[in-house]
Amino acid sequence: MDYSNIIDLLYLVSIIVFIIGLKGLSHPESARKGNQVAALGMGMAIVISLFAPETGDNNYLWIIGAMLVGGGIGLTSAKKVAMTKMPEMVSLFNGLGGACAMLIGIAEFGNLPAGTDMMSGAVLTNIFAMFVGAVSLTGSLVAYGKLNGSLRDNFTLPAPQLINITSLIGIIALSVMIMTQPELNMALVYALLGLSLFYGIAFVTPIGGGDMPVVISLLNSVTGIGATGAGLIYGNNIMIIGGILVGASGIILTVMMCEAMNRSLINVLVGNLGASG
Amino acid sequence: MEQIINFLDDNTLAMLSLLVLSSFLGMEIIGKVPTVLHTPLMSGANAISGVVVIGAIILIRRADATDYLTLVLGFIGIALAMINVVGGFAVTNRMLDMFKKKERKN
């Protein structure tokens, strides 16, 4: 019996739970409950994904092992971290989520069946998930380093705007090259991966430590968009909706955080060269 | 033109609609957030973005039991995303606990 429609219906329930949780999180009196509701939604979504019909070998031992390892590390580090170190912890967690999207993109490139049309939605979503995930990973690590002092606050690259724009153009060019090849060229994929990782660093390093919370919020939104990209690879609704909810609300939150500091987002991202010193 | 039509089958259009409507929902949903809640909300939303773990689960479930490259990439992916999920919700909970205690003292 094909019960994939029932699975989709259950995913819909967990999406509703996510939305209620996120809404709760934005009001002071319901924030704590909202967080727990959102966690419940996540638990539901994960359990559903374990039971959804799939065609492979399932490999449940690998999944359970990885979940125990990750969950254990996450729980202990969340309990141990000092209250003052919370923002950098969030940044680190966020980067790891981005890393997951990136790894999915890489693995799915390897899994493309021979003879796949490169000019296709599947290749485009792979590129997208890998790029966004990689930027979120290295960007979050730089933000983490700047907040915890292991990277000097004024550590920056020469002519950062030029480097940023050149990297972005390079990323677009490599993506176009990958998609116009007759078949998959992994060398180009790895070049794109490397440049994306570099772009994350180049994007965050010029920004001063005082503005890091805004940047973390923006990168958080980026990770959400990366989760959406990975969701598009699998046509999985909960990932698409959960990811874009974070992506969209994250951008609004980022703008609100800038307003609270009487700055504009553009001002934080571009106009602060030398301003934080 | 043919290329564009190749991209836009029914399934893609359905996902695209979902994407557009959900991003509007995401922008509306949080409304006016008081400054004190900025960091916890960011942290909670960050935990939700760990939903990407489901992708890594699907990746491993679809793999052959002998495809060790995919299995290892998926294993790392699940572990990292689970740190994001579990750590994210736990940290948010701690932040909001602190918030509650402060209110009581006042």
* C-beta separation of A199 from A265 below 8 A: no
Question: The complex's ipTM?
Answer: 0.92
The answer to whether the CB atoms of B79 and A31 lie below 8 A apart is no
The answer to whether the CB atoms of A90 and B41 lie below 8 A apart is no
More confident residue, B78 or A83: B78
Q: How far is the CA of A217 from the CAs of A28, A94, A104, in angstroms?
A: 19, 9, 23
Question: Closest chain B residue to A140 measured between Cα atoms?
Answer: B46
Q: Is the confidence at residue B5, as pLDDT, over 90?
A: no
Rg of the Cα atoms in chain A = 20
The answer to whether the CB atoms of B42 and A93 lie below 8 A apart is no
What is the 3-class SS of chain A, one letter each residue? Answer: CCCHHHHHHHHHHHHHHHHHHHHHHCCHHHHHHHHHHHHHHHHHHHHHHHHCCCCCCCCHHHHHHHHHHHHHHHHHHHHHCCHHHHHHHHHHHHHHHHHHHHHHHHHHHHHCCCCCCCCCHHHHHHHHHHHHHHHHHHHHHHHHHHHHCCCCCCCCCCCHHHHHHHHHHHHHHHHHHHHHCCCCCHHHHHHHHHHHHHHHHHHHCCCCHHHHHHHHHHHHHHHHHHHHHHHHHHCCHHHHHHHHHHHHHHHHHHHHHHHHCCCCHHHHHCCCCCCCC
The minimal CB distance from B91 to the residues A69, A90, A232 is found for: A90
Tens digits of residue pLDDT in A82-135: 988 999 999 999 999 999 999 999 999 999 988 888 888 889 999 999 999 999
Q: What is the pLDDT of residue B102?
A: 60
Q: Enumerate the residues of chain B whose CB falls inside 8 A of the CB of residue A220.
A: 42, 45-46, 49
Q: Which of A181-185, B1-5, B31-35 has the lowest mean pLDDT?
A: B1-5
- In this prediction, residue A274 has a pLDDT band, given cuts at 50, 70 and 90, of very low
More confident residue, A53 or A152: A53
The answer to whether the CB atoms of B45 and A246 lie below 8 A apart is yes
Which of A245, A250, A241 is closest to A216 using CA atoms?
A250
